[in-house]
Amino acid sequence: MDRLIPPDPDTPGGKDAGCAVFIDRQLAGPYGRRDGLYLSPPFIKGTKQQGPQDEDGPAVRYRKALAALDQYCKREKGGAFVSLSDADKDAVIGGLESGAAKLDGVDGQAFFALLLGNTREGFFADPIYGGNRDMCAWRMVGYPGARYDYRDWVHRHNERYPHPPVSFMGRADWNARKT
């Protein structure tokens, strides 16, 4: 996660923001189980704009792609992805993005797009879903969150919103005061 959203001095990266937790929870729920997707054959390969046109749901696509990615890293880089140096991890991820990294039985570019999209979702989602820990991404961009009313600020451009963000569960400091 930190390779896709690196930390900086003011904001945690994807790992500490909880993006992996968000993705795990999504894959364990209706999204990962393919609820709401068309599941009847025939499955005909469509264009990239049409998205995945197969019987595998997101959880299965992740399992297959991560296994293929580990095999690719062992074959091309001499070790599992987790054991690679940061530079090698970046090279592998760049290869997935460009299509240069060829995974066995898996479209690496499609997996990269899925992983990047889900990581972004986890970074900016409401913390109730497991990502955006302590509303770090919302603080970074100045998003007020699930606040009841901030209409008086909608047309005030280039001004920092002065109040902390609020998630569906309330502000983080509200929960700290319940002792």
Q: What is the pLDDT of residues 19-65, one digit of tens each?
A: 999 999 999 999 998 887 777 788 787 787 877 777 888 999 999 99
Asked whether residue 14 is assigned to any structural domain, the reply reads no
Ordered per-residue pLDDT tens for the chain, 179 residues: 999 999 999 899 999 999 999 999 999 999 998 887 777 788 787 787 877 777 888 999 999 999 999 999 999 999 999 999 999 999 999 999 999 999 999 999 999 999 999 999 999 999 999 999 999 999 999 888 888 887 888 898 888 888 889 998 876 666 555 54
Asked whether residue 108 is assigned to any structural domain, the reply reads yes
Q: Retrieve residue 144's tokens.
A: 């007020």
Asked whether residue 6 is assigned to any structural domain, the reply reads no
- Nearest Cα residue to 61 out of 20, 121, 91, 103: 103
Asked whether residue 124 is assigned to any structural domain, the reply reads yes
Q: Retrieve residue 117's tokens.
A: 């999209």
Asked whether residue 81 is assigned to any structural domain, the reply reads yes
Asked whether residue 147 is assigned to any structural domain, the reply reads yes
Structural domains counted in the chain: 1
